[in-house]
Amino acid sequence: MNSSQNAVSQAKSSLNLVLRDRNTFGFDVSAEVAYEITAAEQVPAVIRGVTEKNLPWRVLGGGSNVILPKVLSGATLLMNITSQEIVSSDEKATLIAVGGGVNWHEFVAWTLDNHFPGLENLALIPGTVGAAPIQNIGAYGVEIGEYIDSVEAFDAKSHTFVTLAKDACQFAYRDSYFKQNPHRFIVTKVIFKIPKQWQARIHYADLAKQFTSNLNPSPREIFLAVCKIRTQKLPDPKMIGNAGSFFQNPIVPNEQYKTLLHKYPGLVSYPDALGKRKLAAGWLIDQCGFKGQRMGNVGVYENQALVLVNHGGGTAQDILGLAKCIQDKVKKEFGVSLEIEPNIL
């Protein structure tokens, strides 16, 4: 191995690295040891080293879907793999391989700039490409799992690289095989399959309102509309710390939905793919009077009850305390359990 190859295979490490800019809540946290992963081949050595020392470890991308403690003990792998290439293209679809550290929104914008429409409904979702399949991110009627061909990852259990085809990823609402097997897979690359045949998807209520006089919008128009909606509803993490939607929309049986609808005629809900009913968690929280409320250094965003915010100086403990109050009140009022969406590390 020559010196340049050795540089690529060795991940740069840092002690007590401050990660305030690496989590969108803006919590003052630090990592005991942080490894900057810029190439997939760096991962095995890092995992082997921390395993031999019996140290805890985790992977951190953009920090947009996590709740971090003041100190991350052991090793923190910072996912910075930013490779991106068109693998193949035929009359049906284009395959694009993207590194796990690529900024998600920037990738979506790139697909439109290069005439590969399909992901525009997922614009402005914070985070990295590597985190996208784990959570099976979704917005405005589209889920990322629909556009994934396969995922390449390092399996910390077998200490080998694996490629999981779309079906093996077991994508479901805000769920995947990766999420079901936490602390096992380190996603290094995602291969997207973008169909050549494109169709506008604007049936989601908030998006449909943007096109009442334009029933045949272009991908770019949908992209801009989604950005507009998200900007109006969700605060910029650079201005006020947050992790976007904090709770998942709960899915309930039709019988429970009908009972709730009878009691609460204004109940906001959507049909679920499996025949059940998905309730709008933000509406439930709003009805309980939490929108705009503050608890110490944290609170509920004034424009969207689904978003919890750090006004400055807040901690993971503060956010989780507020979340517990919300969960208890919603459960008492509606008999519905809210599940926290961000990962608690």
Q: What is the pLDDT of residues 27-47, one digit of tens each?
A: 999 999 999 999 999 999 999
The yes-or-no verdict on residue 8 having pLDDT over 70 is no
Q: Which of 320, 242, 334, 319 is nearest to 284 (CA)?
A: 334
List of residues 6+ apart from 219 with CB closer than 8 A: 112, 117, 118, 120, 198, 200
* Angstrom distance (rounded) from CA 46 to CA 48: 5
Pairing outcome for strands 30-37 and 71-79: parallel
* Angstrom distance (rounded) from CA 200 to CA 216: 7
pLDDT for res 275: 85
* Angstrom distance (rounded) from CA 18 to CA 76: 11
Encode pLDDT of 52-65 as tens digits: 999 999 999 999 98
Is residue 338 exposed (0-12), middle (13-18) or buried (19+ Cβ within 10 Å)?
buried
Residues 178-199: what's their mean pLDDT? 97
* Angstrom distance (rounded) from CA 71 to CA 94: 42
pLDDT for res 274: 80
**Tokens 């405005």 correspond to what residue?**
140
The yes-or-no verdict on residue 339 having pLDDT over 50 is yes
Q: Quick check: do 3-79 and 241-344 share a fold?
A: no
Q: Which of 248, 245, 251 is nearest to 306 (CA)?
A: 245
pLDDT for res 225: 97
Q: Binning pLDDT at 50, 70 and 90, where does residue 204 land?
A: confident
* Angstrom distance (rounded) from CA 49 to CA 29: 23
**CB-based contact 338:330 (threshold 8 Å):** yes
Say if domain 3-79 classifies as CATH 3.30.43.10. yes
The yes-or-no verdict on residue 67 having pLDDT over 80 is yes
DSSP one-letter string for 168-203: GG--BTTB-HHHHSTTTEEEEEEEEEEESS------
Residues 12-24: what's their mean pLDDT? 94
Single-letter code of the amino acid located at 234: L
pLDDT for res 6: 47
Encode pLDDT of 208-223 as tens digits: 999 999 989 999 999 9
The shares of helix, strand and coil residues in the chain, as percent rounded to the nearest 5, are: 35, 30, 40
Q: Is 22 helix (H, G, I), strand (E, B) or coil?
A: helix
pLDDT for res 265: 96
Encode pLDDT of 103-138 as tens digits: 999 999 999 999 999 999 999 999 999 999 999 999
Residues 254-273: what's their mean pLDDT? 94
CATH dotted code for 241-344: 3.90.78.10
> Could you name the CATH architecture of 84-195?
2-Layer Sandwich (3.30)
pLDDT for res 5: 45
The yes-or-no verdict on residue 2 having pLDDT over 90 is no
The yes-or-no verdict on residue 273 having pLDDT over 80 is no
Catalytic (active-site) positions: 174, 245, 341
Residues 260-280: what's their mean pLDDT? 92
Average pLDDT, the chain: 94
Token pair belonging to 54: 């019996």
Domain boundaries, the chain: 3-79, 84-195, 241-344
pLDDT for res 295: 97
High-pLDDT (> 70) share of the chain, %: 97
pLDDT for res 9: 65
Q: What is the DSSP letter of 55?
A: -
